[in-house]
Amino acid sequence: MPDPIFDHPRVARVYDPLDPDRSDLDTYLALIDEFNVSAVLDVGCGTGTFGSLLAQRGVRVLGVDPAGASVAVAHTKPSANHVTWVVGTALDIAADPAQQQQWDLATMTANVAQFFLSDEEWISTLQAIRACLRPGRYIAFESRVPSDRGWTRWTKELTQRVVYVEGEGPVEEWVQVTKVDRAFVTFDSPTIFLADGERVDSTSTLRFRTEEEFRDSLSKAGFAQIEVRDLPYAPGRGWLIIARA
């Protein structure tokens, strides 16, 4: 079940105003030219910002996400009518024969790849994505570098802010780590609508895999030519991982 921060209708509607800087997506837009991409499968598409940008460039896009509230917001984005939006998972897409071997690039932007906690769920997702890619085409995703210990900066003191959102008034949010268990980091991220006092609590867990774990899981899922690059917008703190089907 998706976390409330993505699947609560009111929170999903303010997700973009609370995080308007999506220059992180420039990393993936650059891959469109690098790999001569004309069709993208965006896994964990969220509120559809990346899919919208791609559609405006004439790229064929299928965006899939299990959070229905986020996908509802995606439908309102520019050029959204040129994107196929699906509430579901990569496994749902791969189960449709019409989607198999149809895509040039599969992406998982932001923290999407780290939401898959078990090896079984992660590898089955990679296998599903591979089934959807044309032979020789690519998967690209990012992950935070465990040795950076980025979660030590996820505190209320460092992340608390209030943003004015049109139609909602002031909205407060922060991130606070509550548990670190080996590679698993759990954190709270409440959203508070100060105009009427509604508070929506959300708790999430991310897995911080090592480079070796990513290489091993991609190989098991049938990918090759695995490349781990420094993440352009977070050098030294994140990886951009690319592999070929």
Q: What are phi and psi of 188, to 5 degrees?
A: -95, 145
- What is the third-level CATH fold of 148-205? SH3 type barrels. (2.30.30)
CB burial of residue 238 (10 Å; 0-12, 13-18, 19+): buried
Closest CA to 65 of 78, 39, 83: 83
Residue with tokens 């899939």: 64
Q: What is the pLDDT of residue 154?
A: 98
> Looking at the domain that runs over 4-145+208-244, which CATH code has it been given?
3.40.50.150
- In single-letter form, the type of residue at position 89 comes to T
CA angle 77, 114, 72 (to 5 degrees): 20
Q: Kindly list the domain boundaries of the chain, sorted by start residue.
A: 4-145+208-244, 148-205
- Could you state, in chain order, the average pLDDT of each consecutive group of 10 residues for the chain (245 residues)? 93 97 97 98 98 98 98 98 98 97 97 98 98 98 98 98 98 98 98 98 98 98 98 97 98
User: Any residues with CB less than 8 A from the CB of 80 and at least 6 apart, and which?
Assistant: 48, 51, 52, 55, 74
The two structure tokens encoding residue 177: 């780590």
